[in-house]
Amino acid sequence: MKNLMRSFLILSAIIMFSGNQLQAEVKNKSLLGEWIYEVSDAPYGYEKGSLIFTEKDGETICVVKLEAGELAVSDLKIADDKITFTTSVEGNSINVELTRDKNKLTGKVDSPEGPKTMIAVKK
């Protein structure tokens, strides 16, 4: 009886952790794609663009696409509905912190000129 109870508890724990992982994967899958962003008071050339989320080797990655080219993203973290990452603009580190609400991302961009508001909508 003890072995049966122990097996049941172990199986329950495995199912619980697998379910959480599956739920996180489903949330990340809905993040994948192109998000059109706007930062109204950003310097010219950086005020509009796209955040492109893709999956590579089982991990979600992001690239910032501008008219003039692309910016690499580092330290991408996705937890629940919070998305954070860092990019570099003209040698300056830019930290981005977004909150997801369905097909909209809103948040702030910390830049050398001070904080700015970012809004992105899924294309």
pLDDT of 3 reads 53
Q: What does the chain come to in residues?
A: 123
Percent of the chain with pLDDT over 70: 77
pLDDT for residue 51: 97
- State pLDDT tens for residues 48-94: 999 999 999 989 999 999 998 999 999 999 998 999 999 998 899 99
Instruction: Report the distance separating Cα 82 and Cα 99, nearest Å.
Output: 5
| Predicted local confidence at residue 29, as pLDDT | 81
Average pLDDT over every residue of 95-110: 95
Strand partners, 38: 48, 119
Please give, one letter per residue, the 3-state secondary structure of 85-110. Answer: EEEEECCEEEEEEEEEECCEEEEEEE
Q: How confident is the model at residue 40 (pLDDT cuts 50, 70, 90)?
A: confident
pLDDT of 10: 53
Tokens encoding 92? 């300056």
pLDDT at 9 over 50: no
Q: Are 37 and 48 in contact (CB under 8 A)?
A: yes
7 pLDDT tier (thresholds 50, 70, 90): very low
